A and B are shown apart, each in its own frame.
Chain A
Amino acid sequence: MSTTTTSPPAVKTVEPRKGFFTDTSVCIGCKACEVACKEWNAIPEDGLNLLGTSYDNTGALGASTWRHVAFIEQKRPTFLGLPSARPSSDGADRAEGSEFRWLMSSDVCKHCTHAACLDVCPTGALFRTEFGTVVVQDDVCNGCGYCVAACPFGVIERRTGDPDTPNVGLAQKCTLCYDRLGAGMTPACAQACPTESIQFGDLDELRERATARLAAMQANGDTDARLYGHDPEDGIGGAGAMFLLLDEPEVYGLPPDPVATTRDLPAMWRRAGLAAATLVAGAVASFLGGRG
């Protein structure tokens, strides 16, 4: 498709563009990524709750949750996604297998190629790093909150809390461990992941790895598997963090067809220009009606 988005068509970076490939088929829901992220980035506590949503007591990505493990319980004959189950050779055996499957997926900022948050930021606090990632500069952000409404994934959020909470009032999200990347290290979440569900690396290589993994799964008969965020032709120009999912994206709380809102911005300005011209015409006409 031809986009008219205001972001550059491709991210040109000094370093090879870095990203994540999260293979949810091997996620065991241990939440080590959530913990490692919180620890490394010194993110404040944001609620110790029992949400009643399977093993997910985190809820969603937000200002103080930069990795979020989703848990989805499904009543469905399956052999994939449940780590202990084994595939069998014929359908009859399958029917006797588990009637339940448990999907787990560690969600994160997508570090979009066409990043709406970055486009709409009025201070330049959000910027594109040399690794092709999207990061907030805490000392520049003034907490206008525009990025929060612009993100098609609901990732970035303004931090709330007591006045002494670190970075309170500022937009906060995953930095893809910008500080660790600078030192040639792996982001904390990927480092902590015990099953290599979260893979970190050069985006080009991750894309190949994701395609190969998908092909292998489909060859095994799992036609539910699909990639998400891997295609540079999608509405965000491809994500810096892609996923292998076992169901529709919305089942995991992801938008099925995300589009950077700024793609329509030229059309929006045109409409606003037309409306402004109408106002001028109206005002002039108001004074042409003579006195009285």
Chain B
Amino acid sequence: MNGSPRRRSPSSDLRASASELDNAQRGQRGARRGRRERTVVPDVEFTSYYGRPVVKSAPWASAIPGYLFLGGLAAGSSLLAAGADLTGRDSLRRSARVTASAAIVASFAALLHDLGRPARFINMLRVAKPTSPMSVGVWLLTGYGPLVGVAAASELPRVGPAWADRLVRRAARPAGLAAAVMAPAVASYTAVLLSDTATPTWHEGYRQLPFVFVGSAAASSGGAGLICAHRADAGPARRMAVGGAIVDVVTLYAMEQSLGLAAEPLRTGAAGAWLRAGKILTGVGGVGAAVSRRSRALSIASGAALLGGSICTRFGIFHAGKQSADDPKYTVAPQRDRLREGRGVSPH
């Protein structure tokens, strides 16, 4: 030690000074080493300010994962309803239209609930900004919601006066088809909504997350179709459920494998528990849906498992993001690594 304040290598010196501090004045400075819990990614070196988060997590409560689930359920159901309408599967069409409208009303309520000023929701409609996935989503839902509503209204025994009834019945198919055209965007935009943030796990997962979400949407809507539609009409719902479950589980696995440190929150804490439950329910539900062609009871149980699995997956992804924002490790370490490896954006 020559007593010079200069540092030959910023990173190695940082580590040295951090451990020195740990010994000399524990807890005095937030130079924290990422070893406090046993994890799959070993030995992350990083420095922080008293362990405080660098970024802030979204101030959203559990209404938002509910919103993600319900939006997906509605979108998948709209696709099923349109297909059933065109192929003459009446019971599937009816149940899917009702499911879609109920889900979209509930998802809208969830969205309002999480605003700091719900009465000002209308301010969302004063601009349309492609740089804001939330703005895009609100406009999507503003178009999609009424279409779903009209399609569902036609399934009621009678809608208001005779002229209104005639109008709704005539508009039902075009409205349902238009809703189906918008549905894939409704199911996938929520992934961009989460990824377009500084929340490490959500942002780093932007390649896989849309596939997880459309898979989850297909699985849940297929599950709802299995529960509600007659057996003779349920074939497409069954295939949708199985395909969705496969996409959901496989892309979630791909996400866990390819995100590096940012994948850690997917396996730990509350998020890890939600996602494990989601994978089990989706897996079991998917297999059940595939083999339950002859059993009404097993079909219903599989459908319920898929709906539950989709809820768990949405909550898991939601909490994984929160966990990644609340620990500075996930913000600092990857940024420090890319600077060290010359992949950084900032000059250094």
Please name all residues of chain B whose beta carbon is closer than 8 Å to the beta carbon of A222 when the two chains form the complex: 5
Complex: how many Å from CA A153 to CA B25?
Answer: 28
Interface residues of A in 121-179 (CB under 8 A from B): 121-125, 140-146, 148-154, 156-159, 168-171
Contacts of A204 in B (CB 8 A): none
Contact of B243 (CB < 8 Å), options: A74, A250, A259, A285: A285
How far apart are A164's CB and chain B's nearest CB, in angstroms?
14
B124 in contact with A123 (CB, 8 Å): yes
Query: Does chain A have a CB within 8 A of B268?
Result: no
**Nearest A residue (CB) for B246:** A282
- A77, B346: Cβ atoms closer than 8 Å: no
Q: Say yes or no: is A94 at the interface (Cβ < 8 Å to chain B).
A: yes
Q: Is B292 an interface residue (CB 8 A)?
A: no
Judge whether A289 and B236 touch: CB under 8 Å.
Answer: yes
Closest to A1 in B: B345
1/0 per residue, CB under 8 A from B, across A249-287: the answer is 011111111110110110111011111111110111111
B323-348 interface with A by 8 A CB criterion: 325, 328, 331-332, 335-336, 338-339, 344-347
Query: Is the pair B58, A286 in contact by a Cβ cutoff of 8 Å?
Result: no
Are A262 and B59 interface neighbours, CB within 8 A?
no
Residue on B nearest A117 in the bound complex, by CB: B198
Which of A116, A150, A168, A291 has the most chain B CB atoms closer than 10 A to its own CB? A150
Q: Which residues of A contact B129 (CB under 8 A)?
A: 119, 121-122, 124
Residues of A within 8 A of B123 (CB): 123, 125, 140-142
Note all chain B residues with C-beta closer than 8 A to A184. none
Measured CA separation A272–B75 after assembly (Å):
14
Number of interface residues of B (CB under 8 A): 106
Whether the Cβ atoms of A148 and B116 lie closer than 8 Å is no
A188 at the interface (CB under 8 A from B): no
The answer to whether A11 has its CB under 8 Å from any CB of chain B is no
The A81-126 residues at the B interface (CB cut-off 8 A) are: 91-92, 94-95, 116, 119-125
Are A120 and B240 in contact, CB atoms less than 8 angstroms apart?
no
A47 at the interface (CB under 8 A from B): no
A292 within 8 A of partner (CB): yes
* B232 contacts across to A, CB distance below 8 A: 291-292
Q: Are A74 and B134 in contact (CB under 8 A)?
A: no
Chain B contacts for A264, CB-based, 8 A: 195-196, 203, 206
Cross-chain contact A250 with B332 (CB below 8 angstroms): yes
Q: Which of A72, A153, A224, A291 contacts B55 (CB 8 A)?
A: A153
Question: Which A residues lie within 8 Å of B235 (CB)?
Answer: 286, 289-292
Taking CB atoms and an 8 Å cut-off, the chain B residues in 58-84 that contact chain A are 58-60, 75-76, 79-80, 83
A258 CA to B247 CA, complexed, in Å? 33
Q: B residues within 8 A CB of A7? A: 131
Q: Do the beta carbons of A279 and B117 come within 8 Å of each other?
A: no
Distance to closest chain A CB from B8 (angstroms): 10
A-B contact pairs, 12 of them (CB 8 A): A62-B56, A75-B24, A120-B131, A151-B55, A224-B6, A224-B7, A233-B345, A254-B54, A256-B346, A261-B197, A268-B192, A284-B83
